[in-house]
Amino acid sequence: MRLTDGELKTFDAEGYLFFPGAFSPEEAAYLRHEAEIVYAMDRKEVWRESSGAARTAFAAHLYNEGFKRLGAHPRLIEPVEQVIGGPLYMHQYKVNAKAAFDGEVWQWHQDYGTWKRDDDMPEPRAMNIAVFLDDVTAANGPLLFIPGSHKLGVIDAGHDLETTSYPLWTLDRDTVTELAERGGCVAPTGLAGSLLMFSSLLVHASPPNISPFGRVIVYLSLCHVDNHIRAFNREEWIAHRDFTPIVPLSGDCLDELVAARMAMA
């Protein structure tokens, strides 16, 4: 999976790229089932909303074989290596649920803002790449992006410890409005298996999910190995301290797991 020159230009201008159907329905369904297994675990890495519904399973690549392989999948690692320009380590790995009816808001923020302030990551030489494990629609709390907002470096933010279950450095409304008047506001939606790569500086948010359907998205935050974090303020399963370069597996690395699940069914 090499990005074309056109894709690289689009990424540079917009701050994100969207690849519908990058993973097969079978791969997505397999991982969706694994997400349920992970969410049922009583582990400190599995965070819950005020309702008790699972919100995020951190570091699932360290205790689940399917998510381990996804964490070294060439469809995720190679395009990010191409843009970041070198070997990557896993800074953060999240399996994010947005539960039916209860899925909470994520306010407007830049991920790198948190990584810089909390973790002392030197530069924004890091990237998010996400895999939809459910169909993401206008109805179930899609990601919202402000295209082009990654061009402005780290934007002033306040530490929001109140409006959601997860502490976040969030942008004020005037700033978000000003950015959106220039770049607009988009919601990439698509079927399970779709892939979404976005700059760690891209301003984004996600509304509550009031629909009767939950939706799970896996997020890898990949960082150039030379750019590893310097401060260890957060739990090591939130901001990882293993800076070993990820060696991509082969493109069929999920096949045997998918086949084994199907044989069981």
Sites of contact with its own copies (CB under 8 A): 100-101, 105, 107-108, 137-142, 144, 173, 176-177, 179-181, 185-187, 189, 205, 207-213
Both tokens of 150, joined, read: 């990654």
Distance CA 187, CA 132 (A): 13
Q: Look up residue 253 and give its two tokens.
A: 């690395």
Tell me whether residue 213 or residue 243 sits nearer to its own copies (CB atom).
Answer: 213
Shortest distance, CB of residue 73 to its own copies, whole angstroms? 27
For residues 114 and 175, which CB has a smaller minimum distance to its own copies in the complex? 175
Which residue lies nearer to its own copies by CB, 45 or 104? 104
**What's the rounded Cα separation, in Å, for the pair 110 and 182?**
17
Residues 6+ apart with CB under 8 A from 229: 91, 115, 119, 120, 121, 223, 239, 241
> Looking at beta carbons only, is 1 or 144 nearer to its own copies?
144
Cα separation values, 206 from 6, 9, 15, 69, 132, Å? 28, 26, 17, 27, 14
Q: How far is the CB of 265 from its own copies (least distance, A)?
A: 20
The backbone region for 85, taken as left when phi is positive above 0, alpha when psi lies in -120 to 50, beta otherwise, is: left
Output 34 or 104, the one with its CB closest to its own copies. Answer: 104
The minimum distance between CB 143 and its own copies, in angstroms, equals 10
Smallest separation, CB 76 to its own copies (Å): 24
Kindly state the smallest distance separating residue 137's Cβ from its own copies, in Å.
6
